[in-house]
Amino acid sequence: MTGAGQGGQPPAAPLQPPEGAHSIGGVPEIPIRARFEAERRLEEHWHRRWPQLKDLRVRFHAPFAYVEATLPDGDDQALFRLKWTGHRDRLWAFAIWLASKDTYERSMLPSGAFVGTVEEAMDCACGLYLNDISAWKLPRQRSGPRH
């Protein structure tokens, strides 16, 4: 609704964050450097671990990074969402796309944590959508026994 505010006064201007602040309406925004790093790491991991994907796309909005891909059959598929935690240790909160609910749902990674690296998130989602259970094994489980 537009027009005059209470008592015929014009509506108040929305509050603006301070110059240089990284937020949208009080929601922290992912810093540019973290965006570039996440995209770079996702692309490298895509080519190294999931080359059967025809394409991978990342879009950012406020504290979220949305990752979708073109599957081997040519279908576009939302995969997962990452939420910026603000930690320098490069951990992101993970939510898987559930087509049955038409939404993202906060999920646990194979490590048992709700936060992890972008690579762990990609492996978890691609393991599901590409039906590759080897993606859910922890790194120490992937290696052979020590001699």
In a domain, 144, yes or no: no
> pTM for this one?
0.75
Residues belonging to the chain: 147
Distance, CA of 92 to CA of 116 (rounded, Å) = 5
Tell how strand 27-28 and strand 23-24 pair up. Answer: antiparallel
Give the residue numbers spanning the domain of 116. 27-139
**Predicted pLDDT at 88:** 64
Distance, CA of 74 to CA of 56 (rounded, Å) = 12
pLDDT in tens, 82-128: 999 987 667 999 999 998 999 999 999 999 999 999 999 999 999 99
In a domain, 63, yes or no: yes
Q: How many domains does the chain have?
A: 1
In a domain, 14, yes or no: no
In a domain, 45, yes or no: yes
